[in-house]
Each structure stands twice: as structure tokens, then as C-alpha cells.
Chains A and B, each alone.
Chain A
Amino acid sequence: MRLALEAAFWLLALASHWLLPEQLPLLGQVWIVALFVLSLDLLVGFAGVLTLGHAAFFGLGAYAAGILAQQGWGEPLSGLLLAALLAALLGLVTAPLVLHGGDLPALMVTLGLSLMLAEAANKLPGITGGADGLLGVEMWPVLGLFRFDLFGRTAFFYALAVLFLLFLLARLITASPFGLALRGIRGNARRMPALGTPVRARLVAVYALSAAYAGVAGALLAQTTQFVSLDALSFQRSAEGLLMLVLGGLGALYGALLGAVAFTLAHHILSEMSPLFWQFWIGVALVGLALAGRGGLLGLGALLLRRGRA
């Protein structure tokens, strides 16, 4: 049953290319946002580390891949790799600051770091393009074969393929003893050292891993839109990522994907219907889900399935 549902999810994602041919650019964005929310799930959902500044890694990845291409190396996969490495490095360097205190200090430090990075990008127009954004990003064909096109076809498949591969990797990691220990840390961090788990080292590792995932998501955005703006580093991106994760369900990987798909599509549809009032309906959905049960959309789906069987 579970395997069938998983297969259905990915087949539907693939089939959306033919079901919604007019919406390919939007769908490409959905896969990128889903990867960003997946990165948050690794950190927040599995390890229980709170953050309000994850856009710092997304933005760093976006600028890294964008600047690399702008400077003449438009090979997409090496752009992703550079973004992942730089974001992971920033994660490794900043993790001790973030993990120094409890939840509230973590929120403040992550928020502060992302604000600093956004302001630095704003004040360095010679490198980042500042408020005008990074222009002149020219990408080479993916694998030397698939040229990025105006209709968003290559972007759709490229983003979906990267999301799928990194999702599989995340699943392997979360099912490994490392991933299980993270869930143990989230449940009872105080007792984990006596079970042989170096809590700080595990949290630093997952922080860097999550940063790398967010960096790849940012790089995908830069490569598929061939543009990077300060919006990539915005607080709103961090906050919406968390919102999507809670909406979809924490600590289950698919919750991150569902939340990203539901939020982005709802945003698109509701903002067309009611450009000034769409967030109200998102709020209604969040309150409704919270009252309906734990676990967001994924939890609600599981509940309905159980009731259907009973």
C-alpha cells in the first residue's frame, strides 16, 4: 500500500508535465520549493533544530551557482555541486552558534545570520547585482544535451530529477542509524550521549547536510530562471518554508513534499482569485489542519486511510 502510494506520487509528479502543459514554469518552481522544504525537514522534522533563517543557505546556493554561470562556467551540475559545498561549509561554520543554546536562541541566531547575509548581498552590487539582482546568468545544456527552453520543459525535468535523487538520498540517510539517532535526539537529547551518540557532532552534521540541500535548491532556482534576486535570501522564504513543512507534516519527508506542492499551488490559485487576501485562506487551512489532527496533510491522509479501512 505504502509503496503504491509512493509510486503514485512520483508518477503523478511526472505526469503533471502532460496534464498541465501550460504550467511547466510553475511546476518547476514547485519541485525547487519542495527540495527547500525537504532540507528543512531534515533539520527541523528529524533533528528538532528550529530555524528561521534557512533562506541563507538557499540564497548562498543561488548566488554561488548564478555567479559561476555569469563568470562563464554554465555547466549546471557543477553549479549544484559548488552550491552544495559552499552551503554545507557555511552550515559547518555557523552550526556551533546555532546549537549553542536552546530553541529560542537557535531561532534568533538563524534569523540574525540570514539577515546579515541578505544585507551583505545588498551591499555588494558588484558581485551580487544588489537590489537589481544578478543578471547575465547563462546556462549550458543539462548533461550537454538538454537546453533550457522558454516553456520550462527542461527546467521541469531537471528540477524534478534532482528532487527525486536527493529525496532518495534523504530517505537512505534518515533510515540509517545516523537518521534514527537524530530522531532519538529529537525525542530525548539528554539521554543520547549515554547511548554512545555524540549529540553535538550529529546535529552539526545534519545542519551542514540540510544547508547543502537548501543550497542545491537555491542553485536550481538560479539556473532554471537564470536570475537571482535578494528575495532568495529573504526572511519570507525561511518563514514560508517552515509553514509548508508544518502544513505537510514534520519528520516524514513526504510531508515536506506535500506541503510544498499544496502551499505553492494554493498560493498560485488563491492569489489569482484574491490577490490581496490569499494569505487569509492559507491561515484558515493551517488552523483547520491543526484542529483536525497532528501531522499536517500527511497525518490527515493517514487518518483518513485508517478510517477508510476500519
Chain B
Amino acid sequence: MAEPLLSLQGVSAGHGEAVVLQDISLQVAPGEAVALLGRNGTGKTTLITTVMGAGPRLRAGSIRFAGQDIARLPSERRAALGLGWVPQERNVFRSLTVEENLTAVARPGPWTLARVMELFPRLAERRRNLGSALSGGEQQMLAMGRALMLNPRLVLLDEPLEGLAPVIVQGLLAAIRRMVREDGLAAVIVEQHARLVLPITDRAVILDRGRIVHAGGSDALLAAPEVAERHLGLNHV
């Protein structure tokens, strides 16, 4: 594997006194897409927010991004280094228009307003609409577009497909595939349903009770559904 872009070594983290993640070691190479799988409550979101420095308390271990120790950096410095995050709640700015949502956080780089609009034509149609007037799928597109406007080197997508209609899911999967396959953006994609993201990722990591219980190629996991079934249950494969 090439020099990792993101590297976690022996990370333990949690909320207050509660330890959620234990001894997590994980590397993501530049341009690599990693599926982060697991049932509800296994620590997937805590892992993402620990990397972003957005809440959980890091109790042990190191987090390095682009060769720099980021464990003590505030979130805005991590974002400035190239970490993009699309939270599960989306958190679009409800009182801003679609276009304003995107320009509010823009940083110079290849991802521009025009390019984001091209990736999500629906956003171009709704560019003058307020965030509060968007459907769930449109809000997800906007949250992803907004993360891209930061011109990240690695984007953390927390359950981007949750609660969306199948037709919207297919559209978003196509956009994510383009981001990671054609545009070479590194990504960690949190998802409960393995079969949705395994085809568009290089590697898969399964979390259970705050520990990594499986790590390997996405193709191998697709070819061996019994492994996924064992860790995720039939409903989540």
C-alpha cells in the first residue's frame, strides 16, 4: 500500500467515561475507498467523529493525516488539511439557499460550484431554494456537495444512503462512485448495508462492539457473503 493518507494506530475513544472504540488501527491510502460496516451502535459514527475531532474524547492511540499528527488539532484545522465530513444528520444550513450553502465553506481547488452542480444536476435545478425546502435526498446531495467544496483529500461519509428512496440511493451511489473512481478522492463510507457499498469500494472494515473484527478487500467480502452475514446479520448484507 502507498504511504497512508489517514492512519489510526491503537485508537481508543468514547464519550465521557464510556469507551466506545478500542484499539482501532486503520489506514487509508490516497485515492482509496474504504467501506466501514457494522450493525447499529458498533462505533462507526464515533470512529468518524473521532477522526474529525468533533465530539468524542480520544483516550489512547494516534491519528495522522497527510503525514501530520492531528489528534490534538481542532476540527477546523483538520478540515483545512483536507478532511471532509458529511455527517449522518446532514446539517445543511436551512436558512441559506443551495448555492449559499456551497459557497459559505468553499476553499480553492478543483471542486468548484460548477463542478459540484455538474455532479449533482438536481442541486443546479434547486440552486435558489432554501436548505429548509429540500427533500431528504436533495439535502444529502447538498451535504456531500458542501463537503466537496472544501476540496478535501479524503471524505468521510456517514450513512449517506440512510432513509432514502431506492431511486435516490442509486443516483447517490453513482455520484459516490464517480467521486472515488473517476476523481480519485479517498473516502471512508459508513454503511449498514454491505452490498450497496462493497461494489464501489476497495476495502471493507467491519466493526463490532467498538473493535475491528474483519478487514479485507471489498471484492473478497462480496465473494464470501457468509463472512458478512456472520458479523452483520442477514438484514445488513
Q: Would you call A181 and B87 a contact (CB within 8 A)? A: no
- Return the CB mask of B90-133 against A: 1 if under 8 Å, else 0: 01011110001001111100000000000000000000000000
A271 to chain B, nearest CB (A): 36
- Residues on B with beta carbons closer than 8 Å to the beta carbon of A191: 54, 87, 91
Partner of A180, one of B79, B85, B104, B147: B104
CA distance A180 to B150 in the complex (A): 15
Point out the residue from B54, B103, B106 that lies within 8 Å of A194, measured CB to CB: B54
Contact between chains at B96 and A196 (CB < 8 Å): no
The reply on B22 being an interface residue by CB < 8 A is no
Interfacial chain A residues near B91, Cβ < 8 Å = 188, 191
Q: Are A193 and B95 touching (Cβ within 8 A)?
A: no
Judging by beta carbons under 8 Å apart, are B79 and A195 in contact?
A: yes
Q: Is the interface of A mostly helix, strand, loop or mixed?
A: helix
- Any B CB within 8 A of the CB of A122: no
CB-nearest residue of chain A relative to B152?
A: A196
Expressed in whole angstroms, the minimum distance between the Cβ of B139 and any Cβ of chain A is 13
For this complex, into which size category does the number of interface residues on chain B fall? 20 to 34
Does more than half of chain B's interface fall in helix, strand or loop, or is it mixed? loop
- Minimum CB–CB distance from B145 to chain A (whole Å) comes to 12
Asked if A184 is at the interface of the complex by the 8 Å CB criterion, the answer is: yes
In the complex, chain B residues whose CB is within 8 Å of the CB of A180: 93, 96, 100, 103-104
Question: How far is it, in angstroms, between the C-alpha of A193 and the C-alpha of B106 when the chains are bound?
Answer: 13
A301 at the interface (CB under 8 A from B): no
Which of chain A's residues have a CB closer than 8 A to the CB of B96? 180, 183-184, 187
A293 within 8 A of B: no
Contacts of B100 in A (CB 8 A): 180, 183
Do A187 and B95 touch across chains, with their CB atoms under 8 A apart?
yes
Q: Is B183 an interface residue (CB 8 A)?
A: no
Check B80 for interface membership: any CB of A closer than 8 A.
yes
What are the residues of chain B within 8 A of A184 when measuring CB–CB? 93, 96, 104-105
Q: Are A195 and B54 in contact (CB under 8 A)?
A: no
| Inter-chain contact A195/B146, CB cutoff 8 Å | yes
Q: Is B229 in contact with chain A by the CB < 8 A criterion? A: no
What is the distance, in angstroms, from B165's C-beta to the closest C-beta of chain A? 25
Q: Check if A144 is an interface residue, CB within 8 A of chain B.
A: no
- How far apart are the CA atoms of A180 and B95 in the complex, in Å? 10
Query: When the two chains form their complex, are residues B105 and A197 in contact, meaning their CB atoms are under 8 A apart?
Result: yes
Q: How far is the CA of A199 from the CA of B74 in the complex (A)?
A: 11
In the assembled complex, A308 has its CB within 8 A of some CB on chain B: no
Question: Which residues on A sit within 8 Å (CB–CB) of B147?
Answer: 195
User: Which A residues are CB-close (under 8 A) to B53?
Assistant: 193-194
8 A-B pairs with CB atoms under 8 Å apart are: A177-B103, A193-B54, A194-B76, A195-B85, A195-B104, A196-B76, A198-B76, A251-B95
A-B pairs, top 8 by smallest CB distance, nearest first, are A180-B104, A193-B75, A196-B79, A193-B76, A194-B75, A195-B105, A198-B76, A191-B91
With A180-B100, A194-B54, A194-B75 already in contact, 5 other A-B pairs whose C-beta atoms are closer than 8 Å: A181-B105, A183-B104, A194-B85, A195-B79, A196-B80
